[in-house]
Amino acid sequence: MTGPRLTPLAASLPATVPFVGPETQERQRGRPFAARVGANESGFGPAPSVVQAIRNAAPDAWMYGDPESHDLRHALAAHHGIAPETIVVGEGIDGLLGYLVRLLVGPGDSVVTSDGAYPTFNYHVAGFGGTLHKVPYRDDHEDPEALVVRAAETGAKLIYLSNPDNPMGTWHDAETIARTIAAVPEGCVLLLDEAYVEFAPDGTAPPIDPSDARVIRMRTFSKAHGLAGMRIGYAIGHPELILAFNKVRNHFGMSRLSQQAALASLADQAHLAGTLQRVASARSRIAEIGAANGLRALPSATNFVTLDCGRDGEHARALLAALVARDVFVRMPFVAPEDRCIRISCAPDAELDIVAEALRKALAELR
């Protein structure tokens, strides 16, 4: 190839993929999964009212979506009791993570995260040449104090913290998060990923205060709203930082139907409440399935349950492979010692029945 000359940064990046999709695995296996409980999607689905909204909007697919996502931003603003100027909508939290990192992080800039936290964030930091500093988990929780200390030590421009946490499902209370925000060093921003916050107990999310430039929060319609396939995330932050997204974002990147779906889903709080109940039941069920097989469930404030397999990463990876071989799509933490666990997404009972049976047989096989 004589034509393209990649930038030195681009040339240095691996052509890796943060997550292999279940469809890729199905193609490699040559057969579909029987239970799709690996990506923390919501098997309880979008609201029927949302399905109807998508169907109604389908003939309008010839029109570009509003590049400002005006109606959705205004509905979100009303929902949260904040100004629309403090919200930016994007192509999932993944897309917004990329834009935020691009705005803040250049070659050599320091960024702090937890070792084993969301790999797609790390992918974006590497992609813009940032230097990633990692802090270990503490007792299966992200360690906010250590994150802030490391940020001060390294002069970091950005800290990543998810609350509740993925992949462990654990969480901190609002007071701890508020203390963390207050301790963010001068010139640094805390990126608070709240993708799972709807599933968490009251008192997990601190009050939203977009006048505080030390924190930007990200939320999504992919989890509790059951719309992962529509790619809708949003960030809440100081209006100056939110405005800066307009410098770099794909202005016409939001699907028109996705904006409609999100609006409909936000309006259907009854369905959301039902989903939260079903997820709570499924969490209990997964914990029971674990217990029946001698695996301890970590407490979860998310729509998944992390099961401690009681040994090391090698054992958990073998168990995961055995589950995949039994047609259960499931994932696990990447880093020790959290990689002693596997992570199972909440799902309807029929799928959890399959998980229960597969787990029993897989463990028997490994013994």
Chain positions 205 to 234 lying near a second copy, rule: CB under 8 A, are 212-215, 222, 226-231
**What is the residue whose two structure tokens read 């897989």?**
362
Contacts (CB under 8 A) with a second copy, residues 134-173: 157
Q: Which residue in the set 17, 270, 321, 336 belongs to the binding site for a second copy (CB under 8 A)?
A: 17
How far apart are CB 186 and a second copy at their closest, in Å?
A: 6
Contacts (CB under 8 A) with a second copy, residues 82-111: 91-92, 94-95, 98, 102-106, 109
Q: Are 233 and 72 in contact (CB under 8 A)?
A: no
The CA radius of gyration of the chain, in Å to the nearest whole number, is 21
Contacts (CB under 8 A) with a second copy, residues 293-332: none
How far apart are CB 294 and a second copy at their closest, in Å?
A: 31
Q: Are 191 and 5 in contact (CB under 8 A)?
A: no
Q: Which residue in the set 30, 31, 63, 367 belongs to the binding site for a second copy (CB under 8 A)?
A: 63
How far apart are CB 337 and a second copy at their closest, in Å?
A: 28
Query: Residue 8 or residue 294: which is nearer to a second copy going by CB?
Result: 8
Quick one: residue 236, left, alpha or beta (phi over 0 = left, psi -120 to 50 = alpha)? beta
How far apart are CB 282 and a second copy at their closest, in Å?
A: 14
CB neighbour burial string for 329-344, b if at least 16 within 10 angstroms, e if fewer:
bbbbbebeebbbbbbb
Q: What tokens were used for 185?
A: 């060093």
How far apart are CB 212 and a second copy at their closest, in Å?
A: 8
Nearest to 262 by CA among 242, 236, 243, 234: 234
User: 294 φ, ψ to 5°?
Assistant: 75, 15
67-75, 81-89, 296-304, 318-326 -> range binding a second copy (CB under 8 A): 67-75
Question: CA 57, 346, 176: angle at the middle one, nearest 5?
Answer: 100
Query: Residue 168 or residue 224: which is nearer to a second copy going by CB?
Result: 224
Query: Residue 14 or residue 30: which is nearer to a second copy going by CB?
Result: 14
Contacts of 135 (CB under 8 A, 6+ apart): 112, 113, 114, 115, 143, 146, 147, 150
Contacts (CB under 8 A) with a second copy, residues 228-287: 228-231, 238, 240-241, 243-244, 246-248, 250-258, 261
How far apart are CB 292 and a second copy at their closest, in Å?
A: 27
Contacts (CB under 8 A) with a second copy, residues 21-60: 21, 23-24, 27, 36, 39, 41-46, 50-51, 54-55, 58-60
How far apart are CB 301 and a second copy at their closest, in Å?
A: 20
Spatial distance between the Cα atoms of 129 and 179, rounded to a whole number of angstroms: 30
Per this entry, what is the length of the chain?
A: 367
Query: Residue 151 or residue 309: which is nearer to a second copy going by CB?
Result: 151
Told to check if 7 binds a second copy by CB under 8 A, we report yes
Query: Residue 246 or residue 269: which is nearer to a second copy going by CB?
Result: 246
**Helices within 191-251 (DSSP H only):** 239-244
Query: Residue 36 or residue 340: which is nearer to a second copy going by CB?
Result: 36
**What is the residue whose two structure tokens read 């001060």?**
152
Query: Residue 152 or residue 318: which is nearer to a second copy going by CB?
Result: 152
Query: Residue 94 or residue 308: which is nearer to a second copy going by CB?
Result: 94
Residues that bind a second copy (rule: CB under 8 A) add up to a total of 93
Three-state secondary-structure class, residue 147: helix
170-178, 179-187, 199-207, 289-297 -> range binding a second copy (CB under 8 A): 179-187
Contacts of 74 (CB under 8 A, 6+ apart): 84
Contacts (CB under 8 A) with a second copy, residues 109-128: 109, 120, 127
Nearest to 311 by CA among 344, 343, 337, 345: 337
CB neighbour burial string for 221-237, b if at least 16 within 10 angstroms, e if fewer:
bbbbbbbbebbbbbbbb
